[in-house]
């Protein structure tokens, strides 16, 4: 049930936690959970009930009557309305405490796992200005004006106009974004024609920036924007609503940089972690958890472009990567490494073909691993599994499906997305 909207009298609530979407959680007088954005544990607040269901409700913050510990004045001037961040009103240490508790709660509540090891926390090296890729929405208004930014927190149909003072993008991206806003003209007439566009900026380690415009017609109109900033190296365009590959409109066709010890091509649509410094810490940790690779048979499942399998093969392992996405699999094949091969297709279809193995890396999307994968592991899984999860709930579900076949030997939390409720967890499992 999605709940119903109704008018209500203000309600006083004590916030006792934070939910998986970053909203504070309290209890209404009738016992239902209520979710209220921009609140923190320990807050006593006055709120309006905006949406109600039999077991929960959503509220809108009216007033903070008493502040809990860990609260701060949000540094970003857009935070009151913008949905790009959800935890900026918390000190960074309080954000990490919440994420640690979120992982443990999911393991206990969903996975029914008691006695899990302590969660080791790896903070992001940068609390702000950490994103090397940012996507904004541009909407043309009926009066000829333009708004461009992030969706509004409680009204996603509206766009909060965001300039270069947003604290999420790396500095070069923020600089280019500000320059583009000043150069795209009245009604953004130097961009492709459409009521709404997606504007993606991706930055490189050296401070160069690529622009991808998604949607609209006549993409050549944006070519002149290449001169908007001397940091802007390429402009790409892709149609909306299709899987068509982007096409180059202006600038350099090929840009490379080093990721995880290898040179990779930087394209606006390629998957790379948005927090490059924290991602490097995560990558190195996963390799350490796998252990000395020489002579081992290793499966890198949901491998993307094969960054783990390729690196392990280069150090003496016999590694197989399994990846469903054709584009990522093609990237993995571009630079062959002796001892590593890529298999394209669903992990649940191919995993059994490469077992028994000595080690298994699981790095699935937010939906977690397929049920058939856990069944295969129950029957023929390796002694050690390193599971990289971007959703504590699906991690906990998958661990529960493994039954008693594996124990959690180590839990490590990586904060790749400060100011948001997202968290990356590495669970090392021993058979």
Q: For residue 394, how many other CB atoms are within 10 A of its CB?
A: 18
Short-list 420, 310, 428, CA closest to 362: 428
Q: Give exposure, 273-289, as e/b (b: 16+ Cβ within 10 Å).
A: bbbbebbebbbebbbeb
Q: What is the DSSP letter of 82?
A: B
Q: Burial level of 157, CB count in 10 A (0-12/13-18/19+)?
A: exposed
The most distant pair of C-alpha atoms in the chain lies apart, rounded to whole Å, by 68
Find where tokens 């058979």 sit: 431
pLDDT for the residue 1: 39
Name the pTM for this structure. 0.90
**Per-residue model confidence as pLDDT tens digits over 39-65:** 999 999 999 999 999 999 999 999 999
CATH of domain 133-265: 2.40.50.1070
pLDDT for the residue 327: 83
- How far apart (Å, rounded) are the C-alpha atoms in residues 257 and 236? 18
Short-list 410, 299, 421, CA closest to 351: 299
pLDDT for the residue 8: 65
pLDDT for the residue 403: 81
Short-list 180, 250, 179, CA closest to 219: 250
Per-residue tokens: 292: 């000395």
Short-list 299, 300, 309, 301, CA closest to 338: 309
Is beta strand 119-122 parallel, antiparallel or unpaired with respect to 407-414? Answer: parallel
**Per-residue model confidence as pLDDT tens digits over 206-244:** 999 999 999 998 899 999 999 999 999 999 999 998 878
pLDDT for the residue 261: 82
Q: Burial level of 202, CB count in 10 A (0-12/13-18/19+)?
A: buried
- How far apart (Å, rounded) are the C-alpha atoms in residues 308 and 295? 16
CATH superfamily of 96-125+275-430: Vaccinia Virus protein VP39 (3.40.50.150)
pLDDT for the residue 3: 55
**22 contacts 418 by C-beta, under 8 angstroms:** no
Which CB contacts under 8 angstroms, 24+ apart, belong to 309-313?
Answer: 309/340, 309/342, 309/361, 310/262, 310/335, 310/337, 310/340, 311/260, 311/261, 311/262, 311/287, 312/287, 312/340, 313/337, 313/338, 313/339, 313/340
Q: At what angle do helices 276-290 and 307-314 cross, to 10 degrees?
A: 50
Q: What is the residue extent of each domain of the chain?
A: 11-66, 96-125+275-430, 133-265
pLDDT tens digits in sequence order for the chain, 431 residues long: 345 545 568 999 999 999 888 999 999 999 999 999 999 999 999 999 999 999 999 999 999 999 999 999 999 999 999 999 999 999 999 999 999 999 999 999 999 988 889 999 999 999 999 999 999 999 999 888 999 999 999 888 899 999 999 999 999 999 999 999 999 999 999 999 999 999 999 999 999 999 999 999 889 999 999 999 999 999 999 999 887 889 999 999 999 888 888 888 888 877 788 999 999 999 999 999 999 999 999 999 999 889 999 999 999 999 999 999 888 888 888 878 899 999 999 999 999 999 999 999 999 999 999 999 999 999 999 999 999 999 999 999 999 999 888 999 999 999 999 999 999 999 999 99
pLDDT for the residue 7: 57
Domains 11-66 and 133-265 share a fold: yes
Q: For residue 233, how many other CB atoms are within 10 A of its CB?
A: 19
Find where tokens 């409109």 sit: 249
* 390 catalytic per annotation: yes
Q: Exactly one of 85, 166, 303, 390 is catalytic; which is it?
A: 390
- How far apart (Å, rounded) are the C-alpha atoms in residues 214 and 191? 10
Q: Which helix (H) or strand (E) holds 373?
A: helix 371-380
**219 contacts 238 by C-beta, under 8 angstroms:** no
Q: Which CATH number fits domain 11-66: 3.40.50.150, 2.40.50.140, 1.20.120.80, 3.40.50.720?
A: 2.40.50.140
Residue 132 bridge partners (DSSP): none
């Amino acid at each position: 049930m999605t709940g119903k909207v109704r008018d209500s009298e203000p309600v006083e609530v004590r916030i006792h936690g934070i939910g998986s979407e970053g909203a504070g959680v309290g209890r209404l007088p009738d016992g239902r959970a209520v979710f209220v954005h921009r609140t923190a544990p320990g807050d006593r607040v006055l709120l309006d009930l905006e949406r109600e269901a039999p077991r929960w409700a959503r509220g809108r913050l009216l007033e903070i009557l008493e502040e809990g510990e860990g609260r701060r004045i949000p540094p970003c001037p857009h935070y009151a309305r913008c949905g790009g961040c959800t935890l900026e009103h918390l000190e960074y240490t309080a954000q990490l405490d919440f994420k640690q508790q979120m992982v443990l709660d999911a393991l206990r509540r969903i996975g029914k796992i008691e006695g899990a090891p302590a969660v080791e926390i790896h903070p992001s090296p940068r609390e702000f200005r950490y994103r090397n890729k940012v996507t904004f929405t541009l909407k043309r208004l009926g009066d000829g004006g333009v708004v461009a930014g992030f969706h509004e927190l409680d009204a996603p149909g509206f766009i909060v106009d965001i300039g270069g003072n947003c604290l999420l993008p790396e500095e070069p991206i923020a600089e280019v974004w500000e320059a583009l806003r000043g150069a795209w003209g009245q009604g953004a007439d130097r961009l492709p024609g459409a009521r709404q566009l997606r504007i993606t900026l991706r930055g490189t380690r050296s401070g160069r920036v690529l622009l991808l415009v998604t949607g609209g017609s006549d993409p050549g109109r944006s070519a002149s924007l290449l001169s908007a900033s001397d940091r802007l190296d390429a402009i790409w365009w892709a149609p909306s609503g299709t899987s068509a590959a982007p096409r180059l409109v202006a600038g350099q066709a090929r840009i490379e940089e080093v990721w995880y010890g290898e040179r990779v091509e930087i394209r606006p649509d390629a998957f790379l972690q948005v927090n490059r410094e924290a991602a490097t810490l995560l990558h190195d940790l996963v390799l350490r958890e796998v252990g000395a690779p020489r002579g081992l048979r290793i499966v890198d499942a949901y491998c993307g472009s094969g960054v783990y399998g390729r690196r392990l093969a280069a150090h003496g392992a016999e590694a197989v990567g399994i990846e469903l996405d054709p584009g990522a699999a093609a990237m993995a094949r571009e630079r062959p490494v002796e001892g590593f091969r890529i298999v394209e297709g669903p992990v649940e279809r191919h995993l059994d073909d490469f077992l028994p193995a000595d080690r298994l890396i699981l790095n699935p999307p937010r939906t977690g691993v397929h049920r058939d994968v856990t069944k295969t592991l129950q029957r023929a899984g390796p002694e050690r599994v390193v599971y990289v999860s971007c959703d504590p709930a699906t991690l906990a579900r998958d661990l529960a499906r493994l039954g008693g076949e594996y124990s959690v030997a180590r839990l490590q939390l990586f904060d790749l997305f400060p100011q948001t409720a997202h968290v990356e967890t590495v669970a090392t499992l021993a058979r």
